[in-house]
Copies of this chain bind each other. A is one copy, B any other.
């Protein structure tokens, strides 16, 4: 979808206008819209859209990169940024957000080549049991030392809940863990199954503060090892069992099902299977919570993100996510969109990541450090601009016990884990 409203023939060249660069730039702005960016070209020419003061400068090192950007921007930008052939001087997050904003729908029009490659990639990265192992390993098994550099102390790698915008990341992650427990209305003695438990923070929080017993599944080997160590150190081994296995192999009967940040890795073609697992675990009497990155419109992640960061990942719309729940008549009781909290969460991550960038480069090289910076910055931009959403869905089986009368108790004493007093449902 082009931007016929922008006078692209009228680009403001500050230095050395050149016919070839001028043409390239017009092509770029056709894709990204009138973003407030200055472009610097291999020959030293500089240009920006007319009448807009630039917030960052995109330096393109060679003509080949320029050509790639035109041919396949979805892949070329990330590749060139990670390799240092493109640099962004100034506010990287702001620049990416500006691009999302200047493209009215957040959806760039894709060429036939891009569509085919994208579908091919989806097929290659399908989340079969072995595909999932590969996809998850490549991201989550990078080494716990790496994630310790920029996550919070508990290593919670999902959207936090900031009671106020000024809350610290540690407070906000603790608040999120508790918020999830409150939404689930956990009662001491209940049983909970967690699908995709990361480094174990939520499972341990539930056990410690809500006195429930938890079976937590994950196929990331590094994460499970860490979680098990924590359970032992914190004396919670009797209450929490960490199991290194695929969600499809989850077995047992539970009062509640919870999955935070895993649905993105299930893949849309496996939603029915995922719903089946939930139903096997909690039947019609249980309840559950799904927390995941979603969309307000159907869209794949960029091919670059799927190639370099999150193979096999897909962020569903709410309608798509219902394919997990509706076949078993689970009734949605609550959906909350926390995208501004995720923007804030990743701002904290990126700040810590930047502070450790030398260490990251030393561990994995400059390419990796730049690629991950771009991924984090792009995530902030996406959550700010609304091309990404964060949905927290609470649901209940057709025969589950009545829930709280209102949501008001969720907002009492949010900082006191375990202190929740639920209103009782008085049936007349």
Contacts and interface: CB of A to CB of B under 8 A. Distances in A.
Given A106-B398, A165-B426, A326 B317 contact: yes
A165 B161 CA distance: 29
Contacts of A298: 326
Contacts of A339: 331
Nearest to A394: B337
Interface stretch (A13-21, A147-155, A401-409): A401-409
A425 B101 CA distance: 18
Nearest to A395: B296
A334 B332 CA distance: 11
Interface string A358-389: 00000000000000000000000000101001
Contact of A330 (B162, B296, B340): B296
A344 interface: yes
A322 B414 CA distance: 31
B344 A428 contact: yes
A248 interface: no
A43 to B, nearest CB: 37
Given A104-B284, A105-B398, A398-B386, A326 B297 contact: yes
A391 B428 CA distance: 22
Contacts of A411: 406-408, 410-411
Given A332-B337, A334-B337, A398-B386, A405 B164 contact: yes
A414 B411 CA distance: 13
Contact of A332 (B318, B405, B406, B426): B318
Interface in A103-131: 104-106
Contacts of A384: 427
Interface in A42-69: none
Nearest to A331: B296
A379 to B, nearest CB: 14
A296 B326 contact: yes
A12 to B, nearest CB: 25
A165 B403 CA distance: 13
A239 interface: no
B296 A332 contact: yes
Interface in A319-341: 319, 322-323, 325-326, 329-337, 339-340
Contacts of A296: 325-326, 329-332, 398
Contacts of A335: 332, 334-335
A163 B406 contact: yes
Contacts of A162: 405-406
A311 B339 CA distance: 40
A273 interface: no
Interface in A299-317: 317
A428 B336 CA distance: 21
B329 A337 contact: no
A347 interface: yes
Given A318-B319, A331-B386, A335-B335, 13 more contacts: A106-B398, A163-B408, A296-B326, A296-B330, A296-B331, A296-B332, A317-B326, A331-B339, A331-B389, A332-B335, A333-B336, A336-B407, A344-B428
8 contacts: A105-B329, A317-B322, A318-B322, A331-B339, A344-B428, A347-B428, A384-B427, A411-B411
Which 8 residue pairs are nearest across A and B when measured between Cβ atoms? A335-B335, A319-B322, A296-B331, A165-B426, A408-B411, A319-B319, A297-B329, A333-B337
